[in-house]
Structure 1
C-alpha cells in the first residue's frame, strides 16, 4: 500500500457539496445578519464553551475562551436562550438585521466555571456531539481550530444516545483507533489494548495526568473522551503516551445546585446495571458529586461472568475569588472470568493455515469454567489547586496517586499441531486432519501491585507582547512508578479444540487451586516485574497569534528518567540502575482562510520511550538508547455553516528510530539500530446538516512497516499495527419538537479490514478477517426521563480482535436503559 485511493483527496469537497445542497439557504449570506456578545458568570469570570441558541431554530454557537460568541442567522426577531441543569434559564429578545451585526449586551449567568460541563441548551443546539475547546490536549485552553494537533472528542451526549457504558466501547466513534485486546484485569496491564496510528496505546490518562486502571473503565464519571493523535512526548512525556498518541478521559465535575439522576439497565446475557449521579451543595462555596455504578453481565459463550463496581466522589471548594480546590477519587472493583485468548504455540506455517476460518474454534465455547476468576482493583486519588495570580496569569497544582491490584487466574490457550499435541501428551489419539487440539494454560497474578504518583505544576498565561497574543504554559512534572507485579503460570494439558462431548467446564477453580497449592511460588517459576522508576520533567509551550488568522505554536520538554533497577522475587538484582535525559520539541502552524471556520494546519511532533536493557552478542547487558518517534502532519479542520459541519482531514508520517532488534545469526544477542515507518490518512466529520439529524463519521488508512529490522520481518507490517483500513458511522434523527418531543433513532456501525496478527517469514502470515458491525438505538429524551433501547452487532457477526492472538467478540446484544432526573 504505497498510496491512498484517489477518491480520498476529494472527500472533503464532496462533503462540502452535500452540505451546500442540504442547506441552500445558508449560502445566501445576503439574507443573514450576525449575533455577537459575551457571557460571564455571576462572579465576573468569563464563561467559555457555553452553548447559546435562538429558540425554535438551529442557529447557535458556543463561547470561546474569552466568553465571546458570534453566529449568523436569517433576518428576523428571535429569543436568545442559555440554560443550565438546575438553574433558571436566561432569555433575551434579539433582532437580526441582514448584513449587520447585532451586539447583545453582556450576559451574566448564575453559575460558576465548575458548572460549564453541565450545559443543557433548551434551543436546538447546532451540533450536540462536538466540544470546541480542550484544556488538556495542549495544556492550554484552545479552540480546536486554533490547535495544530489532531484529536477526536467523544462526548457524554453520544454515550447516552448509543447506550455506551465503558470507555472501551466509546472508542468505536473515533477514526483510526482499533481494539486489539480486551482488558485482562491484571495490575500493570492498564485496561484494554488499542492500536492508534500503528502503535499500541492504552487508556492511562485522566484529566491530563496519570490515572491507571486494570480492567475496562466504567464511563459513569466520564464527560468526554479525547483521543489525542500522534507522538505527544513534549507535553505528556514517555510513560503515559505511545508513539501513536494517547487517550484522555475527562471527568464530570461538581456544580452549585442540587441534582440527581438514577438509572437501571437490563439486557441479554443477564446484563443488569444500576447507576447514580448525585450532586449537592455543601454550603455556599462547597459542592459534592458522586457518580457510581454496579454492573453484572454473563457471556455470549457457555461460561463467563463479570461483576464490577465503580464509585467516583468529587468535592469542589472555592476558598475565595482567587483560590479553588478540586478533590476526586476513582474506585474500580471487578471480579471477572477470563475471556478466551488463543495464542500460537505452533506457528501458522507449521499448522498450514493463514486465516481464522481454517481453524475449528467453537465460537460459543469458553473452554474453562466461569468460577475461574481474577479480582482486580484500581484506586485513583486526585487533588487540584487553581490560583488566579492575575487576570492574565493562573497557577494549577495537581497531585495524582494511582494504585492497581490484581490476584487470580487468567486461562489462555495455545494452538498446536497434532504432532506437537502428541509429544506433549502421548495419550491423545491421532485424529483425522490436523490442528485438532489446544494446550490449556494459565497465567495468574499473585497479589500484584503497581502504584504511580504524579505531581505537576502548570503556570498558564495569556498576554499581548510585541503586538502578538501569547497563550503559554510552563510546567514541572514528577512521576514515580513502583511495581511489584508477580506473574506465574501452570499447564493443564491437551484437550480437543471442538468436541461437543468433552467437559470443558472441568477446567475450574478447584483444579487451578489444587495445582497452585502443589507448586508454591519461587524465583524459578515466577515472572516478576519488581522495579522503581522516577521521571523529572520540565516543559514549556507557547501559542502565538502572529496575525488574527495565522497562529504558530512551539514547545519543548526536558525529561530526566531514572530506572532504579529490577529485582527477582527473592530480592536479587536482575538489571542495574541507569539514567537518561531526553529532549522533546514540537512545532505547529495554523492558518485560517475563513476565520473561526476553516483552518489549514501542520505540525512536527516528537515522542520518546526509555527501553529496558538488553543483551548483546556476547551476552553482556547493554544500556539502551532513547527511542524516538518524529511525526510530520498536515491537514484541514472545519467549523463551517455555524458549526453544523465540524471535522478534520489529515495526512501523517511517523518515523521511529533506535528499535531493539535481533542480531542476524546470533541466538541471543540484540542491537539497537532498527527503524519503523507509519503513515496514514484520517478523516472525521461531526455534522448537523439539518436540525433533526446529527452525523458522526470517520475513515482511517494506515501503512506501517519495519524499514530496518531482522530479515524475518524486514519490510513487513508489524503485528501491533492492526488493520490497514477502518471506518465508523453513526446517524441520529430526532423527530421535530412539535411531533413527539425527544423521540429519536440512531443507526451506525464500524468497518475493519483484515488484520495480520502474525506476519513474518519464519512463522508465516495469519489474518483475522475483516468485519462490519451494525448498531442501532431508539431513545426518548425528556427533561426528567430518558429511555434508550439499543442493539449492538445486529447481524450477529462472528468476529475477532487480537495481536499475536485470536479473541472472539460478543454476539448481538439488546439493551434497555431507563433514567430519571430529579
Structure 2
C-alpha cells in the first residue's frame, strides 16, 4: 500500500546488459514531478493522484524512453526500464548528467556533430539555466562570472557587451551556433545554456563574429512535448523589478506542433545618482514535426530597451599623474550625466531550422537567420583632461544593423571498414549592412571632484543645441562572407579519434560609403583557409582522455601597403594539450589544458607614421582548469582558474614587448558551491556561495603611460526553498561591497539584495 501521501511509482533503470544506470533523469510528462536514479539505478516518485501518467527517462548516450502507467493513489506501481544506446544528436538530451545538476557538457553545437565532451579535442564551458536560476541572475552579463577566464563584462553604450577569452576581447554575436548579431542588450529569459567555446574557431564559425580567443554561443529555449508554465518575479535594491514567464504547449493532440513563449519585463535604476534601464522581451518558438524524418523550427526573439549609457572613462595619457583608477578620486556613485540623455534600442532576431533525416545515419540541416537591431538616442563618454578635470561627450546616434545568414549542413555517421566517421559538410552565406548618422558633441571641461552646478549641464537640451551646429558622421557598410567547410572525426579505435577540419572563406567588403561625398573607402576582397586538427586518446574509456589540437582563426585587414599591395588577413594559430575527465558516474568532470596562440599579420605604423606595415604579432599563452563536481547528493560545485600571458612582439615602439591592455587580468578565478536538501520534510531547502577574483590589469599599457585597474575579489550568496510547484530565493550580490571596475573604467554593482519568487504549474 502507498502511504497517506498518495500513489508511488518505484522503479529501476538498467542498460541493455542489465547494469544499473545511475543519474538518469526521470519525469512524468505534463507534471512537475521529476527525480534521478541512484547508484543502483533505483528511483521513486511519491504523492501521485490516481490517473494515467507517461513516464519519460533520459540519459546521455541512450535513447529517450516513454511508457504509459496507470497509478492508484493507494498503491505502489513498480516498473523496470531498459535503456538502449543512442548514436544520434546529443543536443536533444535535456538532462545529461543526472545528479550533477550543473554538468551539461554534452552538446553537438561545439563540433556540429554528436561528439561527447570526453572525445572532443576542443575546450569549452557550458552554463545551464539551472545555474542561472539558482544564482538569481537577472541580467545576461552576470552569467559570465561562471565561465573561467571571462573577467568583468565590458558593457558598451548600446547595451551590448563583450568578455575575455584567452586574452582576447570576445563579443556576443553567436546565437544557436550561427549569427545572432545584435548591437543591443540581451535578456537571459530565453536562454537554455550559454556555451563558451575556447580558442580560434574559424573553421566552423563565421570569423567576423568571433575572436581569436573563441566565442560565446547562446542557445535558446525550444518547445517541449509537455504542458508547462513558469512565472517568476524578482525584486531588489535600486528599484529592481523583473517579471519573466515561460509557457509551453503542444498545439495538437499528436504533439506534432509545439509552441513555447518566453518573455521578460525588466526595470532597474542605476546604483549611481543618475541612470536607468527598462526592457521588454518576447521570444516565441514553434516546432512542426511533419513526420518521423522532417521537422521545422522557427524561433523569434524581439525586444525593446531604453537606458542611459554606462560610464566609459578614458584618462588623459599626457596630463594625468595618477596611474590607478582607485587613486584618481572619482566619486564611485556619480554618473556625470542626466537621465534625459537616454537611448532606445530595438532588435528582432529570426532563427529557422529544417532537419531532414535522409537515413538513420545521414541528416540534412538548414539554418536561416535574419537579424535587425538599431540604436536611436544619446550615447555618452567621459574624457579625462588631467587629475581633476574631465569633458563630457555625447553622440546623438541613429544606427541600424541588418544581417542574414544561410547555412546548409550535411551530417553523417558511417563506417569505412572498421573505422567510424562522423562528418559535417557545409556551405554558408552571411551578409551584414549598417547605416550611421551620428553628430558628436563635447562639452567644456568640469572639475569631477567638485563639479558644482556645471554637473547638470550634461543634458539633452544642451546636447541638441550643440549637435545642431555639428556635421554628423553619415555612412553605410555592406559586407558579405561566402564559406565552405568540412570536418570529420575518424575513430581509429574505440579510444582513439582524430578530427580533421578545413574552411574556405571569402569576404566581399564594400567599404565605408560616405553618404555626403558618395565615395567608398577601404573596400576589399580577401580569402582565407582555416585548418583544424584534433587528437583524442581515451586513457580510460569514457572517463579520462588526453587531447591535443591545432586550431586556426582569421580576421580581415582593410587597406594596402606602401606599394599598393592589399594586406593579408590576420591569422591566429593555436596549439593546445590537456586532459578531460568524467568520473564517478558523471559526479566529477574536469578539463585542464595549456594553450599557445600566435597571431601574425598584425598591422602597425611604419617608422615615420605614414604607412602601415604587416609584420606585427601577438602571443597569448596560458593555462585553464575547470571542475564541475557533485561529491554527495545535493552538493554541487563549479570552479575555474585561468592564467594568461599575452605579449605584443615586433609591434609599434610604444607597445612592443608589452601585454595588450585589452587582454585583461593575467589571473582569473571563479567558484560556486551550493547545497540543497534532497529528502525529508525540508527537501528543496538550500544555500549557495560563490566568488570571483581578478588580478590587476591595465586600461592603458604603453612604455610612456600606464593606467591600472586594481585587482578585485567579489563574493555572492543565496538561500532558497525549491518546492515542486514554486521556489523562493534570496540573493546577496557583492557581499563585501567591493569597489571594482571594468576595462572601460565603469564602476560595477555594489552590494545588492534581491528576492525571487517562482510559480510552476
SS, match of residue 413 in structure 1: strand
Q: 1:404, 1:500 → 2: CA distance?
A: 36
SS, match of residue 712 in structure 1: coil
Residues 636 and 649 of structure 1 are in contact (CA less than 8 Å); yes or no, is this contact kept in structure 2?
yes
**What corresponds to 2:299 in structure 1?**
328
Residues 89 and 113 of structure 2 are in contact (CA less than 8 Å); yes or no, is this contact kept in structure 1?
no
TM-score, normalization: structure 1?
0.83
**What corresponds to 2:152 in structure 1?**
179
Alignment counterpart, residue 658 of structure 1, candidates 601, 606, 611: 601
Q: 1:234, 1:317 → 2: CA distance?
A: 31
Q: 2:591, 2:685 → 1: CA distance?
A: 30
Alignment counterpart, residue 603 of structure 1, candidates 549, 561, 568: 549
Alignment counterpart, residue 396 of structure 2, candidates 439, 444, 450: 444
**What corresponds to 2:617 in structure 1?**
675
TM-superposed deviation, 1:536: 0.8
Matched, 1:494 2:445: yes
Alignment counterpart, residue 740 of structure 1, candidates 675, 682, 697: 682
Change in Cα spacing, 1:438 to 1:38, as seen in structure 2 (3 Å) is: closer
**What corresponds to 1:198 in structure 2?**
167
SS, match of residue 177 in structure 1: coil
Residues 329 and 379 of structure 1 are in contact (CA less than 8 Å); yes or no, is this contact kept in structure 2?
yes
Residues 313 and 328 of structure 1 are in contact (CA less than 8 Å); yes or no, is this contact kept in structure 2?
yes
Matched, 1:367 2:336: yes
**What corresponds to 2:258 in structure 1?**
287
Residues 60 and 93 of structure 2 are in contact (CA less than 8 Å); yes or no, is this contact kept in structure 1?
no
Alignment of 1:369-768 (within 5 A): 369-417=338-386, 435-446=387-398, 448-499=399-450, 501-502=452-453, 504-519=455-470, 522=471, 525-526=472-473, 528=474, 530-570=476-516, 572-575=518-521, 577-613=523-559, 616=561, 623-664=566-607, 666-762=608-704, 764-768=705-709
TM-superposed deviation, 1:183: 3.3
Q: 2:501, 2:568 → 1: CA distance?
A: 23
**What corresponds to 1:27 in structure 2?**
none
Q: 1:115, 1:548 → 2: CA distance?
A: 22
**What corresponds to 1:302 in structure 2?**
273
TM-score, normalization: structure 2?
0.89
Alignment of 1:147-296 (within 5 A): 147-185=120-158, 191-283=160-252, 284=254, 285-296=256-267
Residues 55 and 81 of structure 1 are in contact (CA less than 8 Å); yes or no, is this contact kept in structure 2?
no
Give unmatched runs, 5+ long, in structure 2: 1-17, 27-34, 45-56, 70-75
Change in Cα spacing, 1:727 to 1:222, as seen in structure 2 (3 Å) is: same
Matched, 1:798 2:739: yes
TM-superposed deviation, 1:353: 2.0
Alpha-carbon displacement from aligned partner over 1:11-36 (angstroms, at most 9, x marks no partner): xxxxxxxxxxxxxxxxxxxxxx9425
Cα-Cα RMSD: 2.8
Q: 2:685, 2:245 → 1: CA distance?
A: 23
Q: 1:748, 1:360 → 2: CA distance?
A: 30
TM-superposed deviation, 1:378: 1.4
Q: 2:424, 2:564 → 1: CA distance?
A: 40
Alpha-carbon displacement from aligned partner over 1:232-260 (angstroms, at most 9, x marks no partner): 00000311221000000111110122211
Alpha-carbon displacement from aligned partner over 1:199-220 (angstroms, at most 9, x marks no partner): 1111111110001222331111
Q: 1:595, 1:82 → 2: CA distance?
A: 35
**What corresponds to 1:810 in structure 2?**
749
Residues 62 and 83 of structure 2 are in contact (CA less than 8 Å); yes or no, is this contact kept in structure 1?
no
SS, match of residue 134 in structure 1: coil
Q: 2:647, 2:618 → 1: CA distance?
A: 6
TM-superposed deviation, 1:63: 3.2
TM-superposed deviation, 1:179: 3.2
SS, match of residue 309 in structure 1: strand
**What corresponds to 1:10 in structure 2?**
none
Q: 1:732, 1:683 → 2: CA distance?
A: 20
Q: 1:37, 1:779 → 2: CA distance?
A: 27
Alignment of 1:69-108 (within 5 A): 105-106=82-83
Q: 2:707, 2:507 → 1: CA distance?
A: 38
TM-superposed deviation, 1:486: 3.1
Q: 1:742, 1:722 → 2: CA distance?
A: 39
TM-superposed deviation, 1:765: 1.2
Q: 1:567, 1:118 → 2: CA distance?
A: 47
Q: 1:164, 1:783 → 2: CA distance?
A: 21
Q: 1:777, 1:40 → 2: CA distance?
A: 26
Alpha-carbon displacement from aligned partner over 1:470-508 (angstroms, at most 9, x marks no partner): 111000100011121333310111111112744523322
Change in Cα spacing, 1:68 to 1:555, as seen in structure 2 (3 Å) is: farther
Q: 1:360, 1:38 → 2: CA distance?
A: 54
TM-superposed deviation, 1:315: 0.6
Q: 2:23, 2:694 → 1: CA distance?
A: 45
Residues 393 and 459 of structure 1 are in contact (CA less than 8 Å); yes or no, is this contact kept in structure 2?
yes
Residues 64 and 143 of structure 1 are in contact (CA less than 8 Å); yes or no, is this contact kept in structure 2?
no
TM-superposed deviation, 1:140: 0.6
Residues 274 and 295 of structure 1 are in contact (CA less than 8 Å); yes or no, is this contact kept in structure 2?
yes
SS, match of residue 126 in structure 1: coil
Residues 489 and 499 of structure 2 are in contact (CA less than 8 Å); yes or no, is this contact kept in structure 1?
yes
TM-superposed deviation, 1:518: 3.8
Change in Cα spacing, 1:656 to 1:793, as seen in structure 2 (3 Å) is: same
TM-superposed deviation, 1:794: 1.1
TM-superposed deviation, 1:736: 4.0
Alpha-carbon displacement from aligned partner over 1:279-299 (angstroms, at most 9, x marks no partner): 111113111110000100001
Matched, 1:143 2:112: no
Q: 1:736, 1:314 → 2: CA distance?
A: 33
Change in Cα spacing, 1:561 to 1:82, as seen in structure 2 (3 Å) is: farther
The answer to which of 126-135 and 261-270 deviates more is: 126-135
Q: 2:476, 2:303 → 1: CA distance?
A: 23
Q: 2:612, 2:602 → 1: CA distance?
A: 10
Q: 1:534, 1:226 → 2: CA distance?
A: 26
TM-superposed deviation, 1:676: 0.8
Change in Cα spacing, 1:343 to 1:269, as seen in structure 2 (3 Å) is: same
**What corresponds to 1:72 in structure 2?**
none
Q: 2:724, 2:22 → 1: CA distance?
A: 28
TM-superposed deviation, 1:515: 2.3
Q: 1:380, 1:415 → 2: CA distance?
A: 38
SS, match of residue 235 in structure 1: coil
Residues 89 and 108 of structure 2 are in contact (CA less than 8 Å); yes or no, is this contact kept in structure 1?
no
Alpha-carbon displacement from aligned partner over 1:434-459 (angstroms, at most 9, x marks no partner): x221111112312x111111000011
**What corresponds to 1:67 in structure 2?**
63
Q: 2:314, 2:275 → 1: CA distance?
A: 19
SS, match of residue 493 in structure 1: coil
Change in Cα spacing, 1:393 to 1:52, as seen in structure 2 (3 Å) is: farther
